[in-house]
Amino acid sequence: METKSVVKVGSRKSQLALIQTNTIINQLKKLNPNLSFEVISMQTTGDKVLDAALSKIGEKNLFTRELELALEKKEVDFVVHSLKDLPTALPEGLLIGCIYKRDSPYDAVVMHPSNAGKKLEDLPEGSVIGTSSLRRAAQLARKFPHFKFENIRGNLNTRFRKLDEDNKYSAIILAEAGLHRMGWPDRISQVLDKDTCMYAVSQGAMAVECRNSDPFTLSLLSQIHHPETVIQCVAERAFLKKLEGGCSVPVSAFSEVKDGKLSLTGGVFSIDGKQGRIEYACDSLPESIEEKEKPTVSPNGPREFAGIVGSEKVSIATLEVAQRVGLQVAELLLNTEAKEILANAKAETAAAVIAEKQKKDAEKMKKEAEKPQANGIS
């Protein structure tokens, strides 16, 4: 096996991405003091298109494509992601070598300074809540039909500025994990429980992507693969994969590993939140979740579950149970009206993508027409 003394790590340039990358590097450094790590940061398409809602851009791997190309070209050895931003199908040859212990998976409310100390329940009719997540808007519209939900985009720093300075939003909704990582826990007014807003698949978990043909990096990463998180995320991602969902549809999840059992609740909602369906499945995990025999690795790399590999700490048999639970919840949903709700939501976002593109094209043409003619005779 090829060994390395310097490991090259790709990262997006945003503050949150760099914080996450450094968290993983610091853990690996503690366990491997002889290794050094070099961070190579780059902008992704998602960082460049900050004006449109994520769901309206119509591409799946917005925040990952450039980084995955660097992995394929061996310019970097691994890339740290928020797992919820990683599509359930990864490019050929790449996989998730580890998932780090999950932070809070829940969503949190950040109030405009004039509403400090309040909860969503306290806000008046017509209050504007900023979120570009269809999932958050749909679920919150069920509980709070008297609010308006409007897009807010940009990285976390930009959103805070828009919230505090624009006086448009009464509150915004963000992942609690991101707020903690950025050092802003004191801005959290309320954490939303599962009965108010179930979280996104894999929210709060950081994943590390690498090449399936790189045993050195795979074995390095397996040191920080967190069994309970892996079990939950395999179930959640298998669920989302079966529904063929992404950030373009309101799909949400809630999972637990308790008393040797794994349970998963999954929800599908219409864009306006008026329709929704929730299903649940539970199964026993193997008595020991550890891998007892060294897995045989095929020439195509290790076996994966929705892109995630096993390790000595979490066996293939365990991940098979997790995958089954995920598929079961998806199948239960697809046998109900959820199938149609999902199809309609997908069609609605697809239409919004086309409308957004037409708007952009029209703006571009208008700008072109207004440009002074370079070779015009005046």
What is the contact surface with ligand DPM in residues (CB under 6 A)? 54, 82, 84-85, 131-133, 135-136, 174-175, 177-178, 200, 203-204, 247
Residue in the block written with tokens 């390395």: 4
Residue 310 to residue 313: CA distance in whole angstroms = 8
Exactly one of 85, 103, 107, 214 is catalytic; name it: 85
Task: Determine the angle formed by the axes of helices 338-370 and 316-334, rounding to 10 degrees.
Answer: 90
Q: Is 85 a catalytic residue?
A: yes
Minimum Å gap between C-beta 316 and ligand DPM is 26
Q: What is the secondary structure of 41-106 as a DSSP string?
A: EE--HHHH--SS-HHHH--S-TTTHHHHHHHHTTS-SEEEEEGGGS-SSPPTTEEEEEE-------
Minimum Å gap between C-beta 373 and ligand DPM is 40
Which CB atom, from 60 or from 357, has the smaller least distance to ligand DPM? 60
Residue 308 to residue 100: CA distance in whole angstroms = 12
Residue 315 to residue 286: CA distance in whole angstroms = 9
Minimum Å gap between C-beta 363 and ligand DPM is 22
Minimum Å gap between C-beta 107 and ligand DPM is 7
Which CB atom, from 180 or from 324, has the smaller least distance to ligand DPM? 180
Minimum Å gap between C-beta 65 and ligand DPM is 15
Which CB atom, from 131 or from 255, has the smaller least distance to ligand DPM? 131
Residue 39 to residue 63: CA distance in whole angstroms = 17
How far, in Å, are 137, 245, 249, 251, 329 from residue 273 at the CA level? 7, 17, 11, 11, 20
Instruction: Supply 253's token pair.
Output: 């999840």
Instruction: Supply 40's token pair.
Output: 């190579």
Which CB atom, from 177 or from 289, has the smaller least distance to ligand DPM? 177
Which CB atom, from 131 or from 311, has the smaller least distance to ligand DPM? 131
Minimum Å gap between C-beta 337 and ligand DPM is 22
Which CB atom, from 46 or from 310, has the smaller least distance to ligand DPM? 46
Residue 346 to residue 212: CA distance in whole angstroms = 32
At 242, which amino acid appears?
Answer: K
In the complex, which residue's CB is closest to ligand DPM? 132
> Taking a C-beta distance cutoff of 8 angstroms, is the pair 32, 4 a contact?
no
User: Torsion over CA of 202, 206, 208 and 209, rounded to 10 degrees?
Assistant: 40
Q: Could you give the residue numbers annotated as active site?
A: 85
